[in-house]
Amino acid sequence: MEDPSQKAARLRDLAERLVRTMSVARGLVRGGRTLDLAGIEDGVGMLCAQALDLPAEQGRPLVGLLRDVLAEVEGLTAAVREEGADCARRGRRR
């Protein structure tokens, strides 16, 4: 069984990687690229599920980083919606 402090460190690393990945993905989407976001979705789901398993004393320090992940999810979601709307408008002009 993994030590809670080791698990917290691993989850911190995962959260930081997800934030960076979603930031890049948002830029690519805004640039008109089509992306498969399944890996990001899986990573965020795993992060959330495993964060819930942490004892409170190990989980509390992750709260700010989890908020950063949420902000990136929201930013990426908005970018995908905007790009979808732009594609629909361009399609109607044809």
Backbone angles phi, psi at 32, to 5 degrees: 95, 5
Domain count of the fold of the chain: 1
Q: How confident is the model at residue 83 (pLDDT cuts 50, 70, 90)?
A: confident
Q: pLDDT tier at 22 (50, 70, 90 boundaries)?
A: very high
At residue 93 the predicted structure's pLDDT band, cuts being 50, 70 and 90, is: very low
Reported as a single tens digit per residue, the pLDDT across 26-61 is 999 999 898 999 999 999 999 999 999 999 999 999
Do the beta carbons of residue 15 and residue 65 sit within 8 Å?
Answer: yes
Can you tell me the distance from the alpha carbon of 80 to that of 35, in angstroms, rounded to the nearest whole number? 10
Please state, rounded to an integer, the average pLDDT across all residues of the chain.
91
Cβ atoms 34, 86 nearer than 8 A = no
What range defines the domain where residue 42 resides? 4-93
Question: Residue 92: is its pLDDT beyond 60?
Answer: no
Structure tokens at 73: 């999810």
**pTM for this one?**
0.87
Cα dihedral across residues 83, 87, 90, 92: positive or negative: negative
CA distances from 60 to 8, 86, 91 (A): 10, 40, 47
